[in-house]
Amino acid sequence: MAGRNVEKKASIDAQLRQLVPAKVSEDDKLIEYDALLLDRFLDILQDLHGEDLRETVQELYELSAEYEAKREPKKLEELGKVLTSLDAGDSIVISKAFSHMLNLANLAEEVQIAYRRRIKKLKKGDFVDESSAATESDIEETFKRLVSDLGKSPEEIFDALKNQTVDLVLTAHPTQSVRRSLLQKHGRIRDCLSQLYAKDITPDDKQELDESLQREIQAAFRTDEIKRTPPTPQDEMRAGMSYFHETIWNGVPKFLRRVDTALKNIGIDERVPYNAPLIQFSSWMGGDRDGNPRVTPEVTRDVCLLARMMAANLYYNQIENLMFELSMWRCTDEFRAKADEIHRHSRKDAAKHYIEFWKTIPPTEPYRVVLGDVRDKLYHTRERSRQLLSNGTSDIPEEATFTDVEHFLEPLELCYRSLCSSGDRPIADGTLLDFLRQVSTFGLSLVRLDIRQESERHTDVLDAITKHLNIGSSYRDWSEERRQEWLLAELRGKRPLFGPDLPKTEEIADVLDTFKVISELPSDCFGAYIISMATSPSDVLAVELLQRECHVKKPLRVVPLFEKLADLEAAPAAVSRLFSIDWYKNRINGKQEVMIGYSDSGKDAGRLSAAWELYKAQEELVKVAKKYGVKLTMFHGRGGTVGRGGGPTHLAILSQPPDTVNGSFRVTVQGEVIEQSFGEEHLCFRTLQRYTAATLEHGMNPPVSPKPEWRALLDAMAVVATEEYRSVVFQEPRFVEYFRLATPELEYGRMNIGSRPSKRKPSGGIESLRAIPWIFAWTQTRFHLPVWLGFGAAFKYAIKKDVRNLHMLQDMYKHWPFFRVTIDLIEMVFAKGDPGIAALYDKLLVSKDLWAFGEKLRTNYEETKSLVLQTAGHRDLLEGDPYLKQRLRLRDSYITTLNVCQAYTLKRIRDQNYNVTLRPHISKEIMQSSKSAQELVKLNPKSEYAPGLEDTLILTMKGIAAGLQNTG
């Protein structure tokens, strides 16, 4: 038996080595890492469920590998036969095992990428996967390149850097399909694997690490992957905020120290000022109410108070370390006077609840006296937020707390100045500087919460007000001119528009109560007020008026969001009309933010047309802003997947049109991208570095503008691409039927990964479906239709019109960053795709009279792929990126097993007459009293499907999302 085990183990290892290309380079340890994790897991699987189950996993893996080698459809049927013969408990264990193996493969990749980065052998310009991009913007190298290659002076770089801002906006988009419990275990597996390969490891360390690794792999496998209840917006906010205390909080000062070092190395002997707004954080969690009825005014209030409590707690936990550090007695006269005043007013018994420095601090330790007062205020700030959150009231007076960040900074700045003046600058530039930088970055609210609401909801409120005031016909029926005229008259006037007697529907009360919450909470809780589906100046003026009516003391900046293709085209004219209104121009003080949506524009017109329209809209918006003397900040609503605007960060920034970043870049970080960006300390550092370096480089070395003939060609191609995309998605009479049959779109909601519904309106077709489930469904079947549909027709049109256009397209690919990034991302999506898998879904799930339609789409897929390769000048997909190619091939066999399992599970769910022959139960439990495979079936007792089917389906969805490193 032992010999057989070794043989089996060797076979899966051999299969891996056969499947994956040879080492890509000397520093390539990916196969080694992956094989180690896989061996450990298969041993655990055998210990828990017996040898037969392990052998079944290996059999499935090998069948998948054989399919991947030759892409023979009959191998998929063989896989299907094995998978459908499993009983409910075994089916869950096997889908869970493959999902787990994909997560382990991802962890092996992350450790390999970190290893290659550490040994500094990373090729510049590697183009890779959006989630684990090895594409890099190293801050020090960026500085040196700007100085040596572009002739910029160190002073110019320092000046630009001090004045630039990157604002990362964390959103709760439901694309993170991995539970937090598992993410933490994955982090520990990653750490163990990294340490196991450290050079200075002792045999004892190795043994202990190996035990830890096995323990964590088993703990992750034994954790239920499925969220049994949907998260609330408060859950989403807590999950998002957990990244602050885990990595971001300490990551920001650590990153800013590296910027200081990089500046020193180009001859700048100054540090980045602590109040330079290099990195800012905002959030939509608990503020984004667009189409999510679960985000109520109460939720918004709760998340703001929770964030304030968390911020005060983080500062409070650090202040005693600072008190220990600043034990000096030399200080300036100004500082001593401040310390003496605090000492005189301090109560003898006021500090008994503190662990350290609980007795009255003597005046001979002036820094500790002043910081002790800061600690008292932080304690009260935290407790007041806690009480308000729990009870709605607090017995702690507001004056005992910090209410604005200036009051918080004042004593800290005083400490800093005093230390510097007393000859202790090196001490001032230690922990105190880090603390000052944290206060400048996170303020008292940790993040600023954006509010997002649909423009129609504001129209409803104003309609109710005008009807109540009996002003002619209803506001909803007025022309844009009349709306503007009335809104401006009210904004210039003083009269209140409505009182408590205004008749309100539930929806109207919700909008007004949200403004009431904004008026009651400290203004530094909030960032922007974003209006989705904004089309005209009155949409913006309406929010300005409602803020005034609801007594918002410091009105939020109002940001129109343009999403659909037609809205993007009309955006420059709408913004120009807005800037031409004197009242508004005076209100904004020379600054305006405009948000552009990547997801809905892609769903509306296809990726090519959306990308080009987003590019042109930004160019035009910048021209309009310049004309009116307004500094424009573009807010990019990008998702994680290519279909929703995703892609490697620094390439995405460097391919923006010239003059559109201008030292100010705001972008959403959504769902699974938050974990990929901030899940580990080194990832957090890399993310901050990438955004900062690319934003600086874009401003100091803007990308080339496209030639007029490139524009003309792309304009014509975009028209063709939109026509083809819409003719299939919106005009093909049976497309919606085909989409719902051929993908797991209808089952998406069962994953419980987000608080918001998957549709804006319960009824309705593709138009009302949100972009995430739309992309998710096509990603699951590895067909990725929304990403590539339209490209093929556009390329064919261009080449047919003039054969020389192929050379022009190749020229555009070589010399225009925007076009290159667009094509490279499509190529990467094709590398992740497999029309053979999509064909299996069609065969099993789609009615026969629609098979020809699916076949036609797959032919289009193949034609588009070859045209993309021609344009890029590549013979094979990803020939320029062997590392990504290797990683995708490594994951393919796992994903294929899950795809086949998903397709057959959907068949069994949807077709009651589909019969399968089950073989005897194969999972053997180590503890006979506990039938854990059977117990798994009982985790979902309320499923409307046959036992085990729903959980098997959800596990395949999660596994495929992990394997493709994309959810939606």
Among residues 9, 75, 100, 173, the one annotated as catalytic is: 173
pLDDT at 5: 41
pLDDT below 50 — which residues of the chain?
1-11, 13, 21, 121-135, 174-175, 643, 753-763, 926-930, 967-968
The span from the first CA to the last CA of the chain, in angstroms, equals 45
Supply the pLDDT for residue 937: 61
Tokens coding 305: 């108070």
Q: Which of 49, 603, 698, 958 is the catalytic position? A: 603
Distance in angstroms (rounded) separating the CA atoms of residues 6 and 14 = 12
Q: What share of the chain is helix, strand, coil (3-state, %, to 5)?
A: 65, 5, 30
> Residue 551 CB: number of other CB atoms within 10 A?
12
In one-letter notation, the amino acid at residue 166 is V
Cα(942)–Cα(366) distance, rounded to whole angstroms?
Answer: 65
> Tokens 């690490």 sit at which residue?
209
| 874 flagged as catalytic | no
Q: Which two tokens stand for residue 273?
A: 């000022």
Question: What does the alpha-carbon distance between residue 845 and residue 777 come to, in Å, rounded to a whole number?
Answer: 14
279-283 and 526-532 strand pairing = unpaired
Q: Is 783 exposed, middle or buried (0-12, 13-18, 19+ CB in 10 A)?
A: buried
* Tokens at 2, concatenated: 């032992």
- The pLDDT value recorded for residue 344 is 85
CB 921 within 8 A of CB 37: no
Classify residue 606 as left (phi > 0), alpha (psi -120 to 50) or beta.
Answer: left
Q: pTM score, two decimals?
A: 0.89
Q: Is 468 a catalytic residue?
A: no
Check residue 56 and give its pLDDT: 94
State residue 2's pLDDT score.
Answer: 40
